[in-house]
Chain A
Amino acid sequence: MSILVIAEHDNKALNGATLNVVAAAQKIGGDITVLVAGSGAQAVADEAAKVAGVSKVLLADNAAYANQLAENVAALVADLGKGYSHILAASTTSGKNVLPRAAALLDASMITDIVAVEGAKTFKRPIYAGNAIATVESAEDIVLATVRGTAFDAVAAEGGSAAVEAVADVKDAGISKFISEEIVKSERPELTAARIVVSGGRGVGSGENYHTVLDPLADKLGAAQGASRAAVDAGFVPNDMQVGQTGKIVAPDLYIAVGISGAIQHLAGMKDSKVIVAINKDEEAPINAVADYWLVGDLNTVVPELVSKL
């Protein structure tokens, strides 16, 4: 078996999600090649070459791939991917943008968000907001799938010594162009990779209160911050902090849900966390049903008290 893994990166550094995808590839077994498509991305390719278990790195370095435009990258992936038995990418917005397009170019079905490898062509994936787990078997010659990062332990970023090979092929569809981006800067750990996540919901009341109450707790714990859809829609925090079916999927060691009722769509994004703590004034909140520990009380007094006692 030969597996092509699409690297996730920002042209400067390899995104940790790629290490989880390589882990899934190892479960399938076979030769693992990582494709780095970008612009000025030599450093990323060098980093990918050091990843444990990777036997080859392909570097497609061209301005056409600078911003991961799906129209260009998918064409490249479909072309290079023809010789492989599997093509995998992370279940990130970038992976979800590019891989289905590549799959259609290869006239192959694709599997989204695999959480377990049952065999070379058999995988498990959540459906209905994580309320059911489907086992899916592919009859395609090339199996394409995105990998849910939190379901696979990352492989070591060091220890490999793969060769880097340049790919000269340039696919520029010329039907789309990058205009701008607004990246939210944060000193905190990345949400999907953090060991501890502190999330706020509608119950925190306002954006100001979100920061007044939750920032000290996240600081104390070295935690990433998340939010429910209600908190994002109300404008308390930016939408890249949304945890849930349509936001980010997290599975930290500790997830602290503050002022979050626990709608189905939110639970879909965090119920695989190791330990869940709910702080809510409502004794009947659905979040309590998945929480390991829940405390009924006013978050405005409970959270500062918790900070002072940690």
Chain B
Amino acid sequence: MKALVAVKRVVDANVKVRVKPDNSGVDLTNVKMSINPFDEIAVEEAVRLKEKGTVTEIVVVSIGPKEAQEQIRSAMALGADRGILVEADDSQLGALEVAKILKGIVEQEKPELILLGKQAIDDDSNQVGQMLGALLGAGQGTFASVVKVEGTTVQVTREVDGGLQTVELNTPAIITTDLRLNEPRYAALPNIMKARKKPLDTKTPADFGVTSTTKLKTVKVEPPADRKAGVQVKSVDELVEKLKNEAKVI
């Protein structure tokens, strides 16, 4: 079966971002960018399914600036077979528009499995997979920690509040990955070299009939409220005394 994996170019997970002084957004100039960590897990899962013989081809897609082809190449170095870059100003696109573009790609490529991260670590929306499921009328296995493909069905164990839930979906199915689904591998140098030669198509949102921009307007972006500086206590006695008499929380 064919697998489609969506990856997003985001600020690296270890970077502490700063809000721009004019409150228009966060400052991303000269900041390290990477594949969204959850999407890396989605790529890894697709590659593992290919190694097991379940998946025959992995198509990786990214929607974003021209530079997002770096992330597509990274996914190819991990094992994806070919890539599609939908070049767009992703600040103008919300989750709904992204889902609509992905729907167009799915209709063209007809994958049986569609893997995405459960959320992007920049906007923290956690929406695209679910929206794509709705647009395609396909089942969704969100926050997946175990994926088992059996013929035309997929069993997905999901991380839910309180524990785990297992559901069975008919293919084509959408799977959004949680952190515990797998441990992504590192790309080996020869694979990085090979990835440069793999096919990469460039498209635009209009190719998939999507011309609208998001109806959510970001009015301003502010830093979170600062916490008052704390104090170091020297002993357990001092800690207990402070918690009882100063903070009055116990």
Tell me, yes or no, whether B242 is within 8 Å of chain A by CB: yes
Interface of A is mostly: mixed
Interface residue tally of chain A, by bracket? 35 or more
| Residue among B96, B165, B239 making CB contact with A295, cutoff 8 Å | B239
Q: A101 — which chain B residues lie within 8 A by C-beta? A: 130-131, 133-134, 140
Chain B residues within 8 Å of chain A by Cβ, number: 81
Complex Cα distance, B179 from A245, in Å, reads 11
Tell me, yes or no, whether B197 is within 8 Å of chain A by CB: no
Question: Can you list, as one digit per residue, whether each of A58-95 has a CB less than 8 Å from chain B (1) or not (0)?
Answer: 00000000010111001000100000000000001110
Knowing A104-B96, A127-B123 are in contact, say whether A74-B134 is a contact too (CB < 8 A). yes
Interface residues of B in 211-250 (CB under 8 A from A): 214-224, 227-228, 230-237, 239-240, 242-243, 247, 249-250
In whole Å, how far is A8's beta carbon from the nearest beta carbon of chain B?
9
Complex Cα distance, B56 from A277, in Å, reads 51
* B167 in contact with A293 (CB, 8 Å): no
* B230 in contact with A293 (CB, 8 Å): yes
- Of A31-39, A48-56, A171-179, the one contacting chain B is A171-179
Complex Cα distance, B125 from A113, in Å, reads 8
Tell me, yes or no, whether A136 is within 8 Å of chain B by CB: yes
Interface residues of A in 91-143 (CB under 8 A from B): 92-94, 96-105, 107-113, 122, 126-140
Tell me, yes or no, whether B45 is within 8 Å of chain A by CB: no
Tell me, yes or no, whether A27 is within 8 Å of chain B by CB: no
B-binding residues in A (CB < 8 A): 67, 69-71, 74, 78, 92-94, 96-105, 107-113, 122, 126-140, 173, 175-184, 192, 196, 221, 229, 232-233, 238-240, 245-246, 248, 253-254, 264-265, 271, 274-277, 288, 290-296, 302, 305-306, 309-310
A133-B221, A196-B249, A275-B249 known, 14 other contacts, Cβ within 8 Å = A99-B130, A100-B126, A112-B127, A128-B11, A131-B19, A133-B222, A134-B221, A136-B217, A180-B165, A183-B163, A232-B180, A246-B118, A274-B247, A296-B232
